[in-house]
């Protein structure tokens, strides 16, 4: 898998993107770059009252993610394999979902300035999952700032992600539906994903794997 200079794993909250990124990092001998969500001081309040805290939350994320992306670009100069659990454009997905018309207008002006510095991924892996399954995983990991996340919010976020990637053409895209597999706890399922990633195909492709447990 040395061909992937900069690989990104994406998906809605609770899909397992950070876990997959960590597992792939070992295979790629890559520098892992994980989004530091907990550092956002507005996030807990945002999940309690989205209308009141959406703009502060989103601007903090935008600037934080941009700073991290600049660091990624500097790492790339030293020929380091990079692996991240988010792509910069995800910020705009969340912004369009939560900001009002006035806020999104200002946000877009800032985003358009910052996006010029962003490193283009070699491959994006978009993990799809049923929102109810994602919510179950969120409840199980019990992060305090996520306790007010609702199923309706995850459904809206899932739809926004699907719409975004349906039109995405900037990098090769692998869409994997993980409803029927458990790549975190089942090594065979992880290797199923790994083999699909290694195919090195251009454009967009969709993969619908079945759990190895169901095939026995």
78: pLDDT strictly greater than 80: no
| Catalytic hit among 49, 85, 91, 112 | 85
Q: How far apart are CA 50 and CA 26, in angstroms?
A: 37
Beta strands 173-177 and 204-207, pairing class: parallel
Average pLDDT over residues 177-204: 91
The structure's pTM equals: 0.91
pLDDT of residue 4: 62
Q: For 140, phi and psi rounded to 5 degrees?
A: -70, -40
Query: Which pLDDT band holds residue 11 (cuts at 50, 70, 90)?
Result: very high
What CA–CA distances, in Å, run from 194 to 23, 124, 136, 157?
10, 13, 25, 26
**Number of helices and strands (H, E) in the chain?**
9, 6
State whether CATH 3.40.50.300 applies to domain 6-215. Answer: yes
Task: Give the list of residues 6+ apart from residue 209 with CB closer than 8 angstroms, or none.
Answer: 176, 177, 178, 180, 181, 189, 192, 193, 196
50: pLDDT strictly greater than 60: yes
85 is catalytic: yes
Q: Tell me the CB-side half-sphere exposure of residue 45, using CA atoms within 13 A.
A: 11
Strands (E), the chain: 6-10, 31-33, 82-84, 123-128, 173-177, 204-207
All structural domains of the chain with their residue ranges: 6-215
């Amino acid at each position: 898998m040395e061909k992937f200079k900069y690989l990104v794993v994406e998906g809605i909250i609770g899909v397992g993107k950070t876990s997959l990124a960590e597992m792939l990092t070992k295979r790629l001998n890559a520098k892992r770059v994980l989004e530091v969500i907990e550092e956002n001081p507005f996030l807990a309040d945002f999940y309690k009252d989205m209308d009141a805290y959406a703009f502060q939350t989103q601007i903090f994320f935008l600037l934080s993610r941009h700073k991290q992306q600049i660091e990624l670009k500097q790492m790339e100069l030293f020929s380091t394999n990079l692996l991240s659990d988010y792509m910069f454009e995800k910020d705009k997905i969340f912004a369009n979902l939560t900001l009002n018309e006035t806020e999104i207008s200002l946000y877009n002006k800032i985003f358009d300035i910052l996006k010029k510095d962003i490193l283009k991924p070699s491959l994006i892996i978009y993990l799809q999952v049923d929102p109810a399954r994602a919510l179950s995983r969120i409840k199980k990991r019990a992060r305090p700032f996520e306790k007010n996340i609702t199923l309706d919010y995850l459904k809206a976020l899932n739809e926004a992600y699907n719409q975004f990637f349906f039109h995405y053409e900037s990098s090769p895209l692998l869409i994997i539906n993980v409803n029927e597999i458990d790549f975190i706890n089942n090594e065979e399922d992880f290797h199923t994903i790994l083999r699909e990633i290694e195919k090195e195909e251009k454009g967009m492709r969709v993969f619908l794997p079945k759990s190895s447990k169901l095939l026995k």
